[in-house]
Amino acid sequence: MTLFSELGLDRTSMKSIERMGFEEASPIQAQTIPLALEGKDIIGQAQTGTGKTAAFGIPLIENIDLQDDNVQGIVIAPTRELAIQVSEELFKLGYGKRTRVMAVYGGQDIDRQIRALKKKPHIIVGTPGRLLDHIKRKNIKLGNVHTVVLDEADEMLNMGFIEDIESILSNVPGERQTLLFSATMPEPIRKIAERFMKDPTLVRVKAKEMTVSLIDQYYVELRENEKFDTLARLLDIQTPELAIVFGRTKRRVDELSSALNVRGYSAEGIHGDLSQAKRLSVLKKFKEGNIDVLVATDVAARGLDISGVTHVYNFDIPQDPESYVHRIGRTGRAGKHGEAITFVTPRERGQLAAVEHTTKKRMEKMKTPTLTEALEGQQKAVTERIVNTVENEDLSLYLGQAEEMLQKYSAADLVAAALKSLTKEPDATPIKLTDEAPAPMKRGGYNKSGSNGRQRNGRGPSTGRKDYSGAKRRDSRKPSGSSNRSNNSNNSNNSYNKREKLNK
């Protein structure tokens, strides 16, 4: 156990950390903060939700010279939402010191960002495309940057982003400190990473499995056309506080969120074709609990830290094991418990095995829930609410009416009626979702000889593009809405070589 007070931090940092309610440093923090303070380049790998943001954020803030009005640190993140979240966490960590932090990301008015840049931020957090845009327009000068952080580094160095990252880094002085963090770091990506670094120290928090042990992991084997009813029943039985449902494509996310609403669930979707304002408003509603279910593409898979997410459902099995690790990592964060349930069609058994092989963790098989179990689940939830009300709330205003009803009906009938009227009975409104092709089979993630979906199933090209926002270059390459399947998809190509070719 390491206390923050043992890490030799500045008084102002300690003040911020205390204000955030952190007491002990997490293992990745305890191991990387001292090294980062010494100025070392670091590749930091630790499980999802274990505090990697503060692991790079604390030393980054410590090294900021408040007297210097130049940009001194940049943090690059793969999605807009993550860039915003990281900038907020850095703002809190730098609060005691009054560090100026700003986020720049696509989809927000660039003039507004230019005006904000005039306030001379010490640290800029951005998505690659928008950061580069500002650099090219000379809105941001990186000549005084001494620290560069790539959050979700493996994703950032994946082929969809590497050119942007290279261009950004070419604007930063060579004698910088470079910090790379992620929960996953496939070997070939690590090799690329080392090209950008000086004698990096690899800090890997030892864990038996790549996923967090606090997440119970299950899979359900089913046919494509059974997925929706199964999801609905699971939501009824498991009654998540907040749930994220991951779908393979934008179309799937749209259809799923509409279908969930038809069946009476409060759900909204998030993916890269929505306006940024919409994306942010959906996320805000979800964080505030105004919607219960967030349906998402992999745009929400990485880094997002939303408290109260108790369940993650992989409606479609992810296309690479890394994506699985990050998706399910949206629950079970900061010591909390979570559940992850992955739907697997018979043709995707190989995918399941690949995920289990990478994570070194077996998922437990869960049988398809029945309608009766769904009803029981809902009844149980209502019963718990009633018992909680009886035990903890003031009922005096209701007792008169209750006594009156008891004159006429039996207590059991009345309680049963209360249960019935409060229980959401499973709704069987028919739902038709457009079929999605099963995830292409691949072997071992980033192997160079791995096949991609195109070769195997001949269902059209796998673009290797992600449903991400930041990179304008890629957005403009194919107009959204042109209707081949892969254009809708957020396929992440397993084969790192293929991806490179397809993106060039």
Ligand X SMILES: Nc1ncnc2c1ncn2[C@@H]1O[C@H](COP(=O)(O)OP(=O)(O)OP(=O)(O)O)[C@@H](O)[C@H]1O
Q: By the criterion CB under 6 A, which residues form the site for ligand X?
A: 22, 24-26, 29, 46, 48-54, 183, 303, 305, 329, 333-334
From first CA to last CA, the distance across the chain in angstroms is: 47
* H helix intervals, 110-223: 110-117, 128-136, 153-156, 162-169, 187-195
Cβ 365 to ligand X shortest distance, Å: 26
Of 267-275, 299-307, 327-335, 365-373: span binding Mg ion (CB under 5 A)? 299-307
Cβ 305 to Mg ion shortest distance, Å: 7
Does residue 311 belong to the site contacting Mg ion (CB under 5 A)?
A: no
Residue nearest to Mg ion (CB): 303
Place of tokens 């790539």: 150
CA 251 to chain centre: 19
Place of tokens 């955030």: 20
Which string of b and e fits 259-269 if b means at least 16 CB within 10 Å?
Answer: bbeebebebbb
177 binds, among ligand X, Mg ion, none (CB under 5 to 8 A by kind): none
Cβ 48 to Mg ion shortest distance, Å: 7
Complex with Mg ion: residue 330 or 442, whichever CB lies closer:
330
Residue nearest to ligand X (CB): 51
Instruction: Out of 27, 44, 51, 303, point to the residue binding Mg ion (CB under 5 A).
Output: 303
* Cα 290 to Cα 284: distance, rounded to the nearest angstrom: 8
State whether residue 47 is helix, strand or coil.
Answer: coil
State whether residue 229 is helix, strand or coil.
Answer: helix
CA 365 to chain centre: 24
Does residue 329 belong to the site contacting Mg ion (CB under 5 A)?
A: no
Cβ 10 to ligand X shortest distance, Å: 17
Cβ 97 to Mg ion shortest distance, Å: 22
26 binds, among Mg ion, ligand X, none (CB under 5 to 8 A by kind): ligand X
Complex with Mg ion: residue 186 or 438, whichever CB lies closer:
186
Closest CA to 260 of 307, 292, 297: 292
Complex with Mg ion: residue 190 or 454, whichever CB lies closer:
190
Structural contact between residues 237 and 369, judged by C-beta atoms closer than 8 angstroms: yes
51 binds, among ligand X, Mg ion, none (CB under 5 to 8 A by kind): ligand X
Does residue 52 belong to the site contacting Mg ion (CB under 5 A)?
A: yes
Burial tier of 497 (Cβ tally within 10 Å: 0-12, 13-18, 19+): middle
* DSSP element (H, E) containing 201: strand 201-204
13 binds, among ligand X, Mg ion, none (CB under 5 to 8 A by kind): none
Cβ 93 to Mg ion shortest distance, Å: 13
- Secondary structure (DSSP) of 80-127: HHHHHHHHHHHHHHTTTTT--EEEE-TTS-HHHHHHHHTT--SEEEE-
Complex with Mg ion: residue 52 or 250, whichever CB lies closer:
52
Does residue 333 belong to the site contacting Mg ion (CB under 5 A)?
A: no
Complex with Mg ion: residue 13 or 47, whichever CB lies closer:
47
54 binds, among Mg ion, ligand X, none (CB under 5 to 8 A by kind): ligand X
Of 6-14, 301-309, 371-379, 439-447: span binding Mg ion (CB under 5 A)? 301-309
Number of residues that bind Mg ion (CB under 5 A): 2
- Binding residues for Mg ion, rule: CB under 5 A, are 52, 303
